Structure 1
Amino acid sequence: MTRTNNRPLVRAAAKADAGPLIAVLAEAFHHGPLADWLIPDPDERRTVYYRYFRDALHHGLQHGQVHTTSDQTAVAIWYPRPEPTPTDHHQRVEALERIAGVYAPKFVLMEEMFDAVHPDTPHHYLAYLAVDPTRHNQGIGAALLTDHHRHLDHLGLPAYLEASNLHNRRLYLRHGYTAGPTITLPTHGPTIWRMWRGTPTTNGDRTPFPHTTRRNP
């Protein structure tokens, strides 16, 4: 567990944290261009998002590394990716149909487009970083990032993520990420910024965004 200056205590999340952290995820991602594209109706979005992020949180607890704060006001879900990770496409489609119902096709399309250009270089993948909207601009998200970045620098590993809006893109740029080729979702969908935090080099820079071979779903 790590405390940085006056920032909150960062610790590993457990199953007992699931309820509050699912709520943080669903609320943090409820607004924005990606949310509007996935589910235009905000009331239906709230219901589907709770199911979607409940699945994401439990998957992260089982297969990844989930970090939170002492007051459960933020959550980060990381996945170590030492090599390309195949996805059981049919199983995932069935899961998204149960979770999202009539909105499943857009969720399937989004995840397929993200997977198709995911870097093959060994890295840690930040699938989600969420802060309670009432606690924005207090350095909480930065504390979660800094804690895991310190671990990655010790391991000599880069980090990768997708930023769904310009505010988040600026946050990650401030934390050492560079922007790679973007993803534009179809049917008037939003632009997604692919972000890479390389490993330190001897001249003080970081390794650049890696070349990515597009994979078919």
Structure 2
Amino acid sequence: MTITARVTIRQATPDDVDALADVLAEAFHDSAVAGWLIPDPTDRPTIYHRYFTAVLAHGLKHGHVDTVADRSAVAVWYPRLRPPPPPAPTHQASLAEATGRYGPLFALMEALFEVGHPDTPHHHLAHLAVRPVRQGRGLGTALLDHHHRRLDAQGVAAYVATTSPRRGFYQRLGYHTCPPLTLPDGPAVWRMWRPGPAGLPAAFPSTVFPPVDCFSEDPIR
């Protein structure tokens, strides 16, 4: 357990999954990608809760999940220090079971995210969420600072793909923005890379993906 800027951070356990799935489902309910994945907003809370329950179970087994004392914020990380193995059939089955008739769009999204993933060794921030009523209090920043300190001590980079238009949040934490992927008939997905203090090589060569500026400096968490 770590106390960062008056925020108590601890590693999540299976007992936290239901509460943290609620946080993720609520935080992302109105996001651009949510409307693309689950156009019917009446289906969204149930589908997202089931999906994020599966996400958290996978993260606890294969990655690292951090939360705060009242479980109002969560960060899901995966180490990508070497090429990952192909997705296990059990993952595809759990994804299909969780998402039902929306399963093909979820599978397409995951496949496109994987195609756009950098090969340079790094830790991947798969999900960062703060319950809406608790946003703006520094919880997301505290969660990322906590993990970034570990990465900086090890000389490891970080990567996130985000659909948020307010990318200044990540830029202030050391991330660089590269041109986005675009979901078919859907929102842009911005890939962001944090090289860390060691000046690790860029994930996206500037000759292919020149850096672009963030368009907003408004804090989002």
Q: Same fold (TM over 0.5)?
A: yes
Kept after mapping to 1: 8 A contact 2:119/2:203? no
Corresponding residue for residue 110 of structure 2 = 111
| Matched letter for residue 190 of structure 2 | W
Residues 185-206 of structure 1 show CA distances to partners (whole Å, capped at 9, x for unaligned) of: 01x20000001000224xxx66
Secondary structure, in 3 states, of the residue corresponding to 1:143? helix
Partners of 1:22 and 1:138 in 2: CA distance? 20
User: After alignment, is 143-152 or 23-32 more displaced?
Assistant: 23-32
2:169 maps to what in 1?
171
- Asked if residue 144 in structure 1 is aligned to residue 143 in structure 2, the reply is yes
Aligned counterpart for 1:196 among listed residues 193, 198, 203: 193
Indicate how the Cα distance of structure 1 residues 177 and 11 shifts in structure 2: closer, same or farther if over 3 A, else same.
same
- Is 2:5–2:142's contact at 8 Å kept on the other side of the alignment? no
Taking a change above 3 Å as real, the CA distance of residues 15 and 89 of structure 1, as seen in their structure-2 partners, is: closer
Counterpart residue type for residue 134 of structure 1: V
Structure 1: state its 5+ residue gaps. none
- The amino acid of 1:179's aligned partner reads T
SS at structure 2 position matched to 1:181 = strand
Contact 2:59 2:76 in 1 (8 A): yes
For 2:79, the equivalent position in structure 1 comes to 80
Q: Retained in 1: the 8 A contact 2:73–2:130?
A: yes
Q: CA deviation at 1:92?
A: 4.1
Alpha carbon RMSD of aligned pairs, Å?
1.9
Structure 1 residues 119 and 144: CA distance shift in structure 2, 3 A: same
Corresponding position: 1:133 with 2:132: yes
- Segments of 5+ residues of structure 2 without an aligned counterpart are 209-221
Offset at residue 150 of structure 1 (A) = 0.5
User: Which letter maps to 1:121?
Assistant: T
> Does the 8 Å CA contact 1:24/1:73 hold for their aligned counterparts?
yes
> In percent, how many aligned pairs have the same letter?
47
TM-score (normalizing by structure 1)? 0.89
Q: Structure 1 counterpart of 2:25, which letter?
A: A
Kindly provide the amino acid, as one letter, of the partner of residue 191 in structure 1.
Answer: A
How far residue 96 of structure 1 moved from its aligned partner, in angstroms, is: 2.5
